[in-house]
Amino acid sequence: MHIGYDEALAHGIIAGADVILLPSRFEPCGLTQLYGLRYGTLPLVRAVGGLADTVTDCSLENMDDGSASGFVFHELNVAGLSSAMRRAFALQRRPSDWRAVQQHAMALRFDWARAASAYLQVYRQAAGDPAPTTRGTASA
């Protein structure tokens, strides 16, 4: 028996799951949901901090426009969590929709190149420079 953290095992577990549950009370950023997104393990998260910034709920309108990447609930209670879990089970019974969400989630990028491009865009707008910056911003 081994007690401790094993990086490869942790990533293997996340990659092998269908959904990763992150019902955090608070979360300044977090990497676990980002690993889930990258591996196609759809995150089920509470809408707080970085979890809210990186996961888009599988609501009908988000499914329709292709932006859905996981399951989000707002209230930190059993009803909120249960509702998100029911959406996850319902989507899993629709394999083509499930795969579409997985593919979108795996295509998302939250790297420094994307962040730097977004900051550059803000600085240019603040300086009154209308020059568009499209490099590195194609993925949400």
What is the domain-level CATH number for residue 90?
A: 3.40.50.2000
What per-residue confidence (pLDDT) applies to 129? Answer: 80
- The Cα-based distances of 68 to 10, 34, 91, 111 in angstroms read 25, 14, 11, 19
98 and 36 in a common domain: yes
119 and 74 in a common domain: no
77 and 138 in a common domain: no
139 and 125 in a common domain: yes
Q: Which residues constitute the domain of residue 62?
A: 7-108
Q: Total structural domains in the chain? A: 2
What per-residue confidence (pLDDT) applies to 134? Answer: 54
Least confident of 17-31, 72-86, 89-103: 17-31
132 and 86 in a common domain: no
Query: Is 1 inside a domain boundary?
Result: no
Q: The pTM is what?
A: 0.81
What per-residue confidence (pLDDT) applies to 138? Answer: 47
What per-residue confidence (pLDDT) applies to 1? Answer: 82
| pLDDT at residue 71 tops 50 | yes
117 and 87 in a common domain: no
- pLDDT band at 137; cut points 50, 70, 90: very low
Once rounded to an integer, what is the mean pLDDT over residues 58-79?
96
65 and 126 in a common domain: no
- Give residue-wise pLDDT tens across range 24-59: 998 888 899 999 999 999 999 999 999 999 999 999
Q: Name the token pair of 44.
A: 């089920």
- pLDDT band at 68; cut points 50, 70, 90: very high
96 and 118 in a common domain: no
For residue 26, which amino acid is it? Answer: F
27 and 64 in a common domain: yes
119 and 94 in a common domain: no
13 and 81 in a common domain: yes
| pLDDT at residue 103 tops 60 | yes
What's the CA gap between 115 and 136, in Å, rounded?
A: 9
